[in-house]
Structure 1
Amino acid sequence: MAARWGLRGKSVVALLIACLLALVPAVMLGWKAMEDIRTHFGLAFARNFTLLNQQKIIAPVIRELALSRRLAESVVTQDWLLSENDPARRALFFREAEGFRADQHNYSYFVVVDSSRHYYFNDSSSPLSNSPRYTLSDTDPQDRWYFDTLARDETYNINVNYDAKLKVTKVWFNMVVRAGNEKVGLAGGGLDLTEFLDQFISRREAGVTPMIVDPEGAIQAHPDTRLIAFSSGSSGQAKHHVYDLLANDQQRTALRQTLRQAETNPGEVETMWGTIDGKEQLIATAYIPQLRWHVLSAIDLHAAQVLDSRWIWPLVGTLAGLLAILLIGFAYTVDLLVLRPLRGLKQSAKAIAAGQYDSPLPRTRPDEIGELSSAFASMADQVRRHTEELEDKVQQRTQALEAANREMAAAQKKIGDSIDYASLIQRAILPDRQLQASLGEHHFVLWKPRDVVGGDFYIYREGPIDSLIGVVDCAGHGVPGALMTMLALAAIDHAIDSVKSHDPAAILRETDHVMRGMLGQEEFTHSLATNMDAGLVRVDHQRKLLHFSGAKISLFASDGNDVREYKGARRAIGDKRQGDYQDVEIPMETGWTYYLCTDGFLDQAGGEHGFGFGNSRFADLLRNHARRPLAEQADVFAATLAQYQGEQPQRDDITILSFRFD
């Protein structure tokens, strides 16, 4: 049951809705202002964070770059690369290289001799070695970084790469060693990538993703190492670009323009908006010209701690408290001025509704409620007078209805008794005992009137050498159909006596003649259906033949494998046009069962779509059950029709007469 809202509740809800309607634009404007403030401070935060990262990167990387350049430009290094196998030059180089390594942060250096392709490497994690670690090959894809570096017109490059032969991943500083104009090899150092990321990338604020990219957008450093474009610094080719992180081409184009703008203003931070991982983020970038690197910061302003939200909740709580005080005060005022007087009026109204028309009503208030009480008192007086008049009229009408109801009950009982008696008479004319005596278990009858009585019946006549079996479906059902069966039975009996044989076609023609003679002169036959369907079978026991003739009723036969239909004439008996009824001679075959069926069975609605049972479904029913004993067939036919019918009402009277001769 739905909750009933009183005036107090409705007034409070109305005030609450009004407050909410006023708060909605205020909240929207406040939210817009909050977003503007968040964006303003977010831009400042992005610039400061990016510049801070830039300085964190510049200091160690510039230092390592300067040391690598010192090693590459050393005369000792150049002399040894020109004569790798000279013992004196070799010893002098490695003494100087050890001093270089002591100055480096990661205590590592490498040298590649172009003439021999020998690769020398020393760091603090392995013993000092004056022998090459391995020899580079221009056919080995893992060594392409060296040949690509020499092929490029650059004095150095910074490359993030995994050396599979040394099994180390570093930020390599590749310096080209020249002797005059000749490139004689490479030299430089390397920063450990893990330590580099831990120091500059991984220790980041919530909602902030720092990155390092080269001018082509290849990712050199990222919290997710799977996105780093290894070897992009030396080869110029990369699989992972920062552009791939953006949502569409328009944003990618904007980022390229932002990077170019940052390159023209190395000391400035350029910003733009982009969508990364499905979230709109502020992207800030600063360019380090010495390293040819861009420092990027992708900031989700809703996740990053741009604003301190601790002051928001006290403000929200204060507003909620003020709103609650306003609602409580308003509810108390409504109760005092409106609800209490109305409760007094309500009690008086309940008393009047219970029949206490003398209940006092408050009329002293000089306001709308007082006027309402006066109007209600006048209405109560009128209701009292009308109630007394109505009670008198109701008593009179009740007495009249009770008398009419008694008369209707008596008439209904007479009609019911008459219909029951008619049913008894109709059942008495059916030849059940004759069929049982003559055919016994070789026949069954399924007879289901739609009402207590119906318009279907069946006949059986036994002669010296033959017998006559038939079913008749008179127009109509219920009492009209039952009365038609009496007329039809009399006409058929007269036709059999007149024909003096069991010839089915002759009997149908004579019955049609008799029915037209009995009903042809009556005016009501033009507006009422007085026709009937019939199917007759003469059984010639001596010659083992069946003679069938029908008026819109077919004879079906089946041996369980095949189904045959012997159709009757297209015109019913008593139709507007006289039918042409002919005999069909059928050999009496062992194992075959014969069926006469009215249209009530075939036209019964049912199934999923409410269609009629139909001839095809009836033929399948015969084919599946024709070999059963006839007593079982009656139950199967009735059950099958009931299942198909479902919740649909019975449309017409149903009759099936089946017989077999073994």
Structure 2
Amino acid sequence: METKYETEKKEKENIILKKNKEKQEITIQKQKIAGFSILIFLILAIIIAIWFFKLKRKQEKANKSLQEKNIKIKKQRNEIQKNHRKITDSINYASRIQNALLPNENDFKENLKKHFIFYKPKNIVSGDFYYFKKIDEYIIIAAADCTGHGVPGAFVSMLGIAFLNEIIRKKEIKTAAEVLEELRIYVKTSLKQKGENYDETKDGMDIAMCVINEKTNILQFAGAYNSLYLVRDNELKIIKATRNPIGIFLKEKPFVNNIIQLNKNDKLYMFSDGYIDQFGGKKGRKFQTRNFNKLILKISNENFSEQKQILEKTIERWKNGIEQNDDILIIGIGI
């Protein structure tokens, strides 16, 4: 009996020991899992920390590079602005020179009681110019459109004004056509236009020139592409120009000298192509010669200051927000 009791006791102890051992093994297993989890977490934390560190370094490097580029861009922008100011100042100075070469408004007022000048450069300086000179009983007026606009056109325009001043003083030059013939020679010579090379400059100008004898009211007109409009008795007459420019041309023709007896209340109009060629309207098209002719005839009975205002307002409405695409020049004269 005692032996059986001890045997049962030992078995119970063994079972308890086994259960304790299993519990220990489970505890150890849990500790191992916990240890591995902590290790994996630490490894991941280290990897993430390294990644963040490298990302931060990369970001700092990118920021530094961006700062350097911004400094460089700012420096370049300041340099560009500085150069732009210099160029603009130079062009403004060139504009003052060009305006000084243009006729004084008082010359027109003293010699032409009825007139207007609508002069609107596309840029600061213009490729269009107008000319006025009084010699004895002759009044000489011209409206010219030089190749290009802006600075290139302005250079040619200043040449044209200087050349005309020299040509007009020559006593052997007696007609408007002779003035244009001489002007063509001057331009071709100064710009070295010989027609020998394809690459040589083709610069020049289109011009309308009027010479009015105050005593007889006889008008001489000669034109290089630019015609003259005469409004008489509510009718528009076009005195056509010679289809040749002032400058080198493949088939040069002599300029025609038109002689017209002017009557009281006649109106003369000279102009460049800037107004006619202005884009605008609902469809963004050119103003066109047909519309310009109708407009001139319509406004011709208004006083000349009113005519100028109508021309200005009409082209502004026509542009409809479109940028001016060329220099504009229109001269109106009443007899």
State if a TM-score over 0.5 links the two structures.
Answer: yes
2: CA distance, partners of 1:580 / 1:564:
23
Q: What's the % identity of the aligned pairs? A: 28
1:448 shift after superposition? 0.4
* 2:295 aligned partner, one-letter code: L
SS where residue 274 of structure 2 aligns?
helix
Q: Relative to 1, partners in 2 of residues 1:374 and 1:528: Cα closer, same or farther, differing over 3 Å? A: farther
1:524 shift after superposition? 9.7
Unmatched 5+ stretches in structure 1: 1-362
* 1:558 aligned partner, one-letter code: V
2:242 to 542, 547, 569: 569
1:584 shift after superposition? 0.9
1:649 shift after superposition? 1.4
- Tell me if the contact between 1:466 and 1:539 (Cα under 8 Å) persists in the aligned partners: yes
User: What are the within-5 Å matches in structure 2 for residues 617-656 of structure 1?
Assistant: 617-656=291-330
1:614 to 252, 271, 288: 288
1:556 maps to 2:264: no
1:402 shift after superposition? 3.2
User: What are the within-5 Å matches in structure 2 for residues 38-53 of structure 1?
Assistant: none
1:458 shift after superposition? 0.4
1: CA distance, partners of 2:264 / 2:47:
95
User: What are the within-5 Å matches in structure 2 for residues 155-304 of structure 1?
Assistant: none
- Tell me if the contact between 1:559 and 1:626 (Cα under 8 Å) persists in the aligned partners: no
1:471 shift after superposition? 0.6
- Tell me if the contact between 1:560 and 1:627 (Cα under 8 Å) persists in the aligned partners: no
- Tell me if the contact between 2:228 and 2:268 (Cα under 8 Å) persists in the aligned partners: yes
- Any idea what the Cα deviations from partners look like across 1:66-125, whole Å, max 9, x if unmatched? xxxxxxxxxxxxxxxxxxxxxxxxxxxxxxxxxxxxxxxxxxxxxxxxxxxxxxxxxxxx
- Tell me if the contact between 1:495 and 1:507 (Cα under 8 Å) persists in the aligned partners: yes
- Tell me if the contact between 2:193 and 2:248 (Cα under 8 Å) persists in the aligned partners: no
1:606 shift after superposition? 1.4
* 1:474 aligned partner, one-letter code: C
* 2:301 aligned partner, one-letter code: R
- Any idea what the Cα deviations from partners look like across 1:475-499, whole Å, max 9, x if unmatched? 0111111111111112222222335
Match of residue 74 from structure 2: 402
1:380 shift after superposition? 3.0
1:561 shift after superposition? 2.3
* 1:415 aligned partner, one-letter code: I
Task: Count how many residue pairs are aligned between Structure 1 and Structure 2.
Answer: 295
- Tell me if the contact between 2:193 and 2:247 (Cα under 8 Å) persists in the aligned partners: no
Q: TM-score, normalised by structure 2?
A: 0.80
1: CA distance, partners of 2:48 / 2:206:
72
SS where residue 125 of structure 2 aligns?
coil
2:100 to 424, 428, 439: 428
1:628 shift after superposition? 0.8
1:603 maps to 2:277: yes
User: What are the within-5 Å matches in structure 2 for residues 494-505 of structure 1?
Assistant: 494-498=166-170, 500-501=172-173, 503-505=175-177
1:502 shift after superposition? 5.2
SS where residue 221 of structure 2 aligns?
strand
* 1:428 aligned partner, one-letter code: A
Match of residue 519 from structure 1: 191
- Tell me if the contact between 2:229 and 2:269 (Cα under 8 Å) persists in the aligned partners: yes
* 1:657 aligned partner, one-letter code: I
1:401 shift after superposition? 3.1
2: CA distance, partners of 1:629 / 1:466:
24
Q: Relative to 1, partners in 2 of residues 1:537 and 1:375: Cα closer, same or farther, differing over 3 Å? A: farther
Of structures 1 and 2, the one with the larger relative CO (CA 8 A, separation 6+) is 2
* 2:313 aligned partner, one-letter code: A
SS where residue 570 of structure 1 aligns?
coil
User: What are the within-5 Å matches in structure 2 for residues 66-105 of structure 1?
Assistant: none
- Tell me if the contact between 1:555 and 1:595 (Cα under 8 Å) persists in the aligned partners: yes
1:633 shift after superposition? 0.5
1:650 shift after superposition? 0.9
1:378 shift after superposition? 5.5
- Tell me if the contact between 1:468 and 1:502 (Cα under 8 Å) persists in the aligned partners: no
Q: Relative to 1, partners in 2 of residues 1:518 and 1:527: Cα closer, same or farther, differing over 3 Å? A: closer
- Tell me if the contact between 2:225 and 2:244 (Cα under 8 Å) persists in the aligned partners: yes
- Tell me if the contact between 2:144 and 2:207 (Cα under 8 Å) persists in the aligned partners: yes
Match of residue 541 from structure 1: 214
Match of residue 49 from structure 1: none
1:449 shift after superposition? 0.4
SS where residue 141 of structure 2 aligns?
strand
1: CA distance, partners of 2:274 / 2:225:
13
* 1:544 aligned partner, one-letter code: N
Q: Relative to 1, partners in 2 of residues 1:640 and 1:515: Cα closer, same or farther, differing over 3 Å? A: same
2: CA distance, partners of 1:570 / 1:429:
28
1: CA distance, partners of 2:106 / 2:145:
21
Q: Relative to 1, partners in 2 of residues 1:503 and 1:525: Cα closer, same or farther, differing over 3 Å? A: farther
Match of residue 456 from structure 1: 128
1: CA distance, partners of 2:126 / 2:285:
23
1: CA distance, partners of 2:199 / 2:244:
17
2: CA distance, partners of 1:524 / 1:418:
33
2: CA distance, partners of 1:447 / 1:496:
23
Q: Relative to 1, partners in 2 of residues 1:585 and 1:394: Cα closer, same or farther, differing over 3 Å? A: same
- Tell me if the contact between 1:551 and 1:579 (Cα under 8 Å) persists in the aligned partners: no
1:410 shift after superposition? 2.2
2: CA distance, partners of 1:395 / 1:614:
54
Match of residue 26 from structure 2: none
1:596 shift after superposition? 0.1
Match of residue 580 from structure 1: 254
- Tell me if the contact between 1:455 and 1:478 (Cα under 8 Å) persists in the aligned partners: yes
2: CA distance, partners of 1:595 / 1:636:
15
1:426 shift after superposition? 1.1
SS where residue 234 of structure 2 aligns?
coil
Match of residue 153 from structure 2: 481
SS where residue 326 of structure 2 aligns?
coil
- Tell me if the contact between 2:193 and 2:200 (Cα under 8 Å) persists in the aligned partners: no
- Any idea what the Cα deviations from partners look like across 1:508-532, whole Å, max 9, x if unmatched? 0000011111112699993544121
* 1:598 aligned partner, one-letter code: S
**Cα RMSD for the two superposed structures:** 2.7
- Tell me if the contact between 1:573 and 1:579 (Cα under 8 Å) persists in the aligned partners: no
Q: Relative to 1, partners in 2 of residues 1:418 and 1:627: Cα closer, same or farther, differing over 3 Å? A: same
SS where residue 580 of structure 1 aligns?
coil
- Any idea what the Cα deviations from partners look like across 1:315-365, whole Å, max 9, x if unmatched? xxxxxxxxxxxxxxxxxxxxxxxxxxxxxxxxxxxxxxxxxxxxxxxx98x
